[in-house]
Amino acid sequence: MQKQLNQLEIDQILDFLKRHKVPYFDVQLELVDHFASAIESNWETYPNHWSFEQKILSVYNEIGPKGFTKIIGEKGRGLLQKANRFAFNLLKDSLRIPQIIVTLACIYFLHQGFLTMENPAHLFAKGLGIPMVFLIISSALCYGYYYWRYKQRILALEQGISLYMLVPNTLMLPVYWIDKANFHFSSEMYLLFSVMIFVQIIYCTGLLVVVRKVFLESKSQYAHLAKN
């Protein structure tokens, strides 16, 4: 009968992968199984005096000269692709007639509101402050939920981070620039700001919805793996 690795040996493989900076939880699981299967299948071929660590190294050497670099890189690219797809779908979904009507109506009211504001500087604080507070709270919630509660890193966390990277700091750059230049605010400029801030808030809200959805999907997929 083929030898089966015990829990201690499985943990040793997992430690080895962590030492080699394999960050993704599902890749760790996959590689642990790969290493364990290879060692179990070839148990007879290893010299008796080899330690278990040497057996692990022997499997590692078969992976290729670049070690785990290619595996991790491809995984990261895949996650980013997925995050971009989510973001794209989010934008695509918001381009429907009811959403467009509501968006235009909100922009109009924001615009009118800004026109009556005495100090335009408040605009910057609100434009920057709301999304930032929103991001910090939602990131902390997401991180806490999956990292502290389950003590495991999950795909969705990376997806979430990738999505947050897309959060429109770029949208805020023109605001900073104009603010620094002490630009005179025309009615058109207020309209532009109204659009930018509204898009930013809608986008951030949408991100939270999407990220929550991804987390819930991942939770059902990985929950049974993460209980420890």
Partner 1 sequence: MSNKKLYRGSLSTIILKLLGDNGRMYGYEITQKVKVLTEGELQITEGALYPALHKLEGDGYLKVEFEQVNNRMRKYYSLTEDGTTEVASKLSEMEQFIQTMQQLINPKLA
| Residue numbers at the binding site for partner 1 (CB under 8 A) | 4-7, 10, 26-27, 29-34, 36-38, 41, 62-64, 66-68, 70-71, 73-75, 77-79, 81-82, 221-222, 224-225
Nearer of residues 82 and 111 to partner 1, judged by Cβ: 82
Q: Which of 25, 198, 211 is nearest to 112 (CA)?
A: 198
Angle (nearest 5°) at CA 100 between 123 and 128: 20
Query: Minimum CB separation from partner 1 for residue 91, in Å?
Result: 20
Query: Minimum CB separation from partner 1 for residue 219, in Å?
Result: 14
Nearer of residues 122 and 213 to partner 1, judged by Cβ: 213
Contact 222, 158 (CB under 8 A): no
What angle, 0 to 180 degrees and rounded to 10, lies between the N-to-C axes of helices 155-165 and 69-94?
60
Query: Minimum CB separation from partner 1 for residue 141, in Å?
Result: 26
Nearer of residues 91 and 223 to partner 1, judged by Cβ: 223
Nearer of residues 30 and 132 to partner 1, judged by Cβ: 30
Own/partner long-range contacts of 12-15 (Cβ < 8 Å, ≥24 apart): 12/52, 12/53, 12/56, 13/56
Query: Minimum CB separation from partner 1 for residue 32, in Å?
Result: 6
Contact 203, 172 (CB under 8 A): no
Query: Minimum CB separation from partner 1 for residue 138, in Å?
Result: 25
Nearer of residues 70 and 151 to partner 1, judged by Cβ: 70
Nearer of residues 6 and 45 to partner 1, judged by Cβ: 6
Amino acid at 40: E
Query: Minimum CB separation from partner 1 for residue 165, in Å?
Result: 18
Distances (CA, A) of 20 to 23, 27, 76, 79, 227: 9, 12, 16, 20, 24
Contact 162, 78 (CB under 8 A): no
Say which residues have a Cβ less than 8 Å from residue 152's Cβ, sequence separation at least 6.
Answer: 25, 146, 222, 225, 226, 228
